[in-house]
Amino acid sequence: MKIKKLSITKKKFDINLQFYFLQKQLVKAKLTDSQINEFIEIINLSNLEVSLKKMEEVVFSMEGDKKDILESLLLVIKTKTDLRLFVFTLKLSTIRTLLLQEAKITEVITASQLSTLNPLSLEYDNLSVKRPYSKRVTGALLSLLFFSNLESGKTNFMSKEAHQFVKELSVLAIKLKKEGLEPNQIFMLMFTESMNQSIISDSGSNYEDRILSVLIGMGIPRDKIKKIHDKADASTEFDFFFELDGKTYGIGAKRTLRERYKQFIKTAQTSKIDVMIEITLGMDLNETKAKTIRNHGTYIFVADEIYNSRKFLQNMNGVYSVKKLDLILLKSLK
């Protein structure tokens, strides 16, 4: 299958590639606010030839990687359009930081919501799994709104103090757009990279980490909890193993069971562990799987939402909602 009449002119490709290259180099250079302002002031007060000469003098006084990166960057600035694009990129580097901060607010809101939920609940899991993506989506939508306003000449969406800055940025964006620049699309390439670097993996999205926090919260010492393979059946791994009042406990922790539930058939017949437990969200836990696990002596704990929605789980001995998981119940299991 061919896509007909879909082509990009060389002029359009070149200006957008140049924009991406300038963004990439400036991020690597890690310019300070004062250095950014110095370059902008030089360009505003001089023509192309003089601007390049003065910027080369500034770069010459620098050291290390920053000097090397900026020397390479200045070599690609050859026209007035390149110079305008460079100013546009310099100014956007400040906006990028602001948009990143705005996007981070989504993470703070999600964290606040998570703090009110049971870490082993389905609702917590859904929020936790989506959390790394929420920042990216928020960032993409904020970028779209920002450039939509910028390209239409609307500049009253920032503070009064920033109005003139945004107004000048808008004028630049409109001029460059006429020359083929697609600022939002190319800016988003770099913005997404910046967001990915700033996103810290959320331990809440790791199901095992959440279970560990619950066990520790119950009073089981962290240094007493281990991850082991069953001595009699090395194919079975217990994500958590500990002793409690003279009894040994082996816990398997998986958000979904798939075919892993079958391991209990063999392990239950050979294992010397006193109490075996499977903790799972329970989304794919049907009655057949639940009976197989229970018939081989393994207790089941599932997300409260799943437990309450499935009558067969409520009627099955040895199956519990994760809300019931505490020291008293653990000690009662045989």
Among 258, 269, 197, which Cα is nearest to 230's?
Answer: 269
pLDDT in tens, 66-124: 899 999 899 999 999 999 999 999 988 888 877 877 777 777 787 788 888 888 888 88
Residues 110 and 131: their CA atoms lie apart, in Å, by 7
Residues 14 and 29: their CA atoms lie apart, in Å, by 22
Contact in structure between 95 and 194 (CB atoms under 8 Å) = no
| Pairing state between β 298-302 and 275-280 | parallel
Percentage of the chain lying above the pLDDT 90 cut: 27
Give the 3-state secondary structure of 185-224. HHHHHHHHHHHHHHCCCCHHHCHHHHHHHHHHHHCCCHHH
Per-residue pLDDT at 327: 92
Mean pLDDT of the region 211-222: 92
* Cα 148–chain centre separation: 25
Residues 66 and 59: their CA atoms lie apart, in Å, by 8
Domain boundaries, the chain: 11-198, 207-332
Per-residue pLDDT at 161: 63
Q: Is 47 in a helix, a strand, or coil? A: coil
The letter for the amino acid at 106 is T
For residue 203, name the pLDDT band (cuts at 50, 70, 90). very low
Contact in structure between 15 and 186 (CB atoms under 8 Å) = no
pLDDT in tens, 241-281: 999 999 999 998 888 887 666 666 666 666 778 999 999 99
Which uninterrupted H or E stretch holds 81? helix 80-114
Q: Is the pTM of this model over 0.75?
A: no
Mean pLDDT of the region 308-328: 94
60 contacts: CB under 8 Å, gap ≥ 6: 67
Rounded (to 5) percent helix, strand, coil in the chain = 65, 10, 25
Contact in structure between 334 and 273 (CB atoms under 8 Å) = no
- The 10 Å Cβ neighbour count of residue 212 is 21
Per-residue pLDDT at 254: 85
Per-residue pLDDT at 149: 79
Give me the half-sphere count of Cα atoms (radius 13 Å) on the Cβ side of residue 134. Answer: 19
Among 278, 280, 321, which Cα is nearest to 299's?
Answer: 278
Q: Under CATH, what is the fold of the domain 207-332?
A: Restriction Endonuclease (3.40.91)
Task: Reply yes or no on whether the pLDDT at 232 is more than 80.
Answer: no
